[in-house]
Structure 1
Amino acid sequence: MPFFEVYWRGECIADAGDLEEALACYIQVRPKELSWPEAWVQAEVEGDPPPCVCRYRSFEAFLDNEEALETIPVTLAMLELAGSEA
């Protein structure tokens, strides 16, 4: 079963069992006073890396420090979609 690590502004903020769950984790980090586009621009202006989700073969692979199978770039559209489902 795959394992996903969720990154926002260069920091791991959560882990998840699938991509949909991983994207839903971003809801907890969006500043309440900002929209997703405003939060995105603020992160860019401050020089933070773009959000991403790292997919591992399994939780055990993650614990064993195996390389991620892929790094999925998170787009503004993905964040807005995830936020609308909350």
Structure 2
Amino acid sequence: MQTQFEPVPVQSLDTPTEQTRDRQTQRTVSVLDRVTGINPQRVGVQRIMRVERVVTRANRPFTETMFYISSLTLDAAAFAQRIRQHWYIENRLY
């Protein structure tokens, strides 16, 4: 999925930053509306999202990149909010 983002400009971008006691987190959510190269069994895919997360703790950055697919046609800010809500619920379960 990463190669999907290289030659194509993203449709929507959102970069919220959040500061907690001991760390700063910046998430860059990029959304593509041109969906190609996805398994044809994934019927209804409308968007591909890339979330690049940079967490800085004690002046040490940690970077993580995640990819999502969706049948929704939201912009990056709306996807960012839904992804955060998902992980908030997920993290509260454990």
Confirm or deny a common fold (TM above 0.5).
no
Bigger proportion of residues as strand? 2
Higher relative contact order (CA 8 A, sep 6+): 1
- Decide which structure has the larger Cα Rg and report it: 2
Normalising by structure 1, we get a TM-score of 0.29
TM-score of the aligned structures, taking structure 2 as reference length: 0.27
Query: Structure 1 or 2: larger helix share?
Result: 1
